[in-house]
Amino acid sequence: MRAAVYRGDSVVSVDEVAIPDIGPGEILIRVEACGVCHTDLKKIEYNLLTPPRIYGHETAGVVAAVGANVTKYQPGDRVIVFHHIPCGACFYCSRKLYAQCPVYKKVGVTAGFEPAGGGFAQYVRVMDWIVERGVEKIPDGVPFETAAFVEPVNTCVKAVEQCDPQPDDVVLVQGQGPIGLIFTMLLKLRGCTIVTTDAIASRLALSRECGAHFALDPRTEDVAAKLKELTAGRGADMVFVATNVRGLVEEAIRSTRPGAKIMLFAQTSDKERIELSGASICVGERSLLGSYSASVDLQAESADLVFSGKLPVHLLISHRVPLDKIDFAFRLATHPGEFPEENPLKIVVQPQSQSANLPAESYS
């Protein structure tokens, strides 16, 4: 099969590799769609994990084969798969901190080499504990590219539930890439007043379509002043930091009232640093929170939000790219400002496809 293999030194090459064998309790999925996620891009760009690996974890496809003792799924089933599932019995699981569970940290989906998700390949092997609790069937009529959003939606639902915004809250979402836009959609369902920021005009326009009441370019507009104007001088009740641009957490502090909640969602690299006044947290009684990865408790809810159309995630897809053009997909996702004519947003890799919805000259 074909797979995009991370080889180290920030290099990914599309190579021929063996289709992974499956054992008892496991399934093999033919990958039809896998979303490009910035957590994988950071691992590649910063060489955070040892090569070789095949990344990609927002995976949707068709069951191609099942191992002995598998009864929940059969060949031909359309499914999405989560690459992490917790043990349910450890110290962290008892406190619902599933992403800190040692079993959760062990990736259970691979296309070969050290397990790393494997969705940027034509087939993936799903290990037994993931088959048991980490696979959801896709209803008829739901496209694979839409179904691939279930995992990232889950991560966002988890962060929103942790903050528990109320209908009368004024909430700032910094960054309107795919994750920021999912936050905007979820906050709309909560009935909040939503203020969003981004430096790309097309994303601000889509942000309004997805539920933002005010969409601001922080380069030309005073975000903190706008939040205070909307709240009788207090500032936002809550902020979701959905991108890792330098200075955003400091802007979140300036834009919030005392007692506000600030959720760090995109700060996933040890190389990122934030410098804040201690008093802005202590004296201002603000809560600085973090949320990482998905929750097994929210699996069914996140699937329903996507499959039912309650979240119009299809609006976020800007490009569909075959494996052979994955380098271009990564550049689009990592440096969207360099491709203004493309309006890049959510990029979906289609490993079975030989073509894409971009003209050939765009791949240079």
pLDDT at residue 355, as a whole number: 56
Q: Which domains does the chain have, with CATH numbers?
A: 2-149+311-349 (3.90.180.10), 153-290 (3.40.50.720)
> 3-state class of 150 per DSSP?
helix
- Alpha-carbon distance of 94 to 80, in angstroms, equals 26
With H, G, I as helix, E, B as strand and everything else as coil, classify residue 18: coil
Closest CA to 109 of 123, 93, 95: 123
**How does residue 194 score in pLDDT terms, banded at 50, 70 and 90?**
very high
The model's confidence at residue 362, banded by pLDDT at 50, 70 and 90, is: very low
Q: DSSP letter at 168?
A: T
Query: How far is the C-alpha of 217 from the C-alpha of 214, rounded, in Å?
Result: 10
Q: Is the pLDDT of residue 361 over 80?
A: no
> Range with the lowest mean pLDDT among 185-189, 207-211, 262-266, 328-332?
328-332
CA distances from 146 to 59, 152, 295 (A): 10, 11, 20
191 DSSP assignment = T
What would the two tokens of residue 12 be?
Answer: 């990914």
Flag the least confident range among 133-137, 191-195, 335-339, 345-349. 335-339
pLDDT for res 327:
94
Residue 322: pLDDT band (50, 70, 90) is very high
CA neighbor of 158 nearest in space, from 116, 97, 212: 97
- The 10s digit of each residue's pLDDT in 265-296 is 999 878 788 999 999 999 999 999 999 999 99
Query: Residue 137: phi, psi to the nearest 5?
Result: -75, 140
Q: Where are the beta strands (DSSP E) in the chain?
A: 2-8, 11-16, 27-35, 58-66, 78-81, 109-110, 123-126, 135-137, 170-174, 193-197, 214-216, 236-241, 256-264, 287-290, 317-321, 346-349
What residues are paired with 288 via a beta bridge?
A: 262
Tell me which residue of 13, 32, 22, 36 sits closest to 70, measured CA to CA: 22
On the CB side of 300, how many CA atoms lie within 13 Å of its CA? Answer: 2
Burial (Cβ within 10 Å: 0-12, 13-18, ≥19) of residue 343: middle
Determine the pLDDT at residue 363. 32
Per-residue model confidence (pLDDT) at position 336: 87
- Is residue 358 over pLDDT 90? no
Lookup: tokens for 335:
């440096």
d(CA 129, CA 85): 7
What angle do helix axes 201-210 and 178-190 make, rounded to 10 degrees? 30
- Pairing type for strands 193-197 and 170-174 reads parallel
CA atoms within 13 A on the CB side of 71: 1
Output the CA–CA distances (angstroms, integers) from residue 58 to 37, 38, 79, 157, 256, in the order listed. Answer: 8, 11, 11, 15, 33
Amino acid at 159: A
Q: Phi first, then psi: what are they for 28, rounded to 5°?
A: -110, 130
Query: What is the pLDDT at residue 359?
Result: 36
Average pLDDT of the residues of the chain: 95
Give per-residue pLDDT as tens, 9-67.
999 999 999 999 999 999 999 999 999 999 999 999 989 999 999 999 999 999 999 99
pLDDT-derived band at 311 (thresholds 50, 70, 90) equals: very high
pLDDT-above-70 percentage for the chain? 97
pLDDT digits over 209-258, tens only?
Answer: 999 999 999 999 999 999 999 999 999 999 999 999 999 999 999 999 99
Give pLDDT tens digits for 100-139: 999 999 999 999 999 999 999 999 999 999 999 999 999 9
| SS3 assignment, position 258 | strand
Please, are residues 29 and 147 in contact by the beta-carbon 8 Å criterion?
A: no
Is the per-residue pLDDT at 82 higher than 80? Answer: yes
Q: What is the dihedral of CA 225, 228, 234, 240, to 10 degrees?
A: -90
Identify the CA nearest to 269 among candidates 34, 44, 24: 44
Q: Model pTM?
A: 0.95
Alpha-carbon gap, residue 85 to 139, rounded angstroms:
22
Peptide bond into 143 cis (omega under 30): no
Average pLDDT over residues 150-165: 98
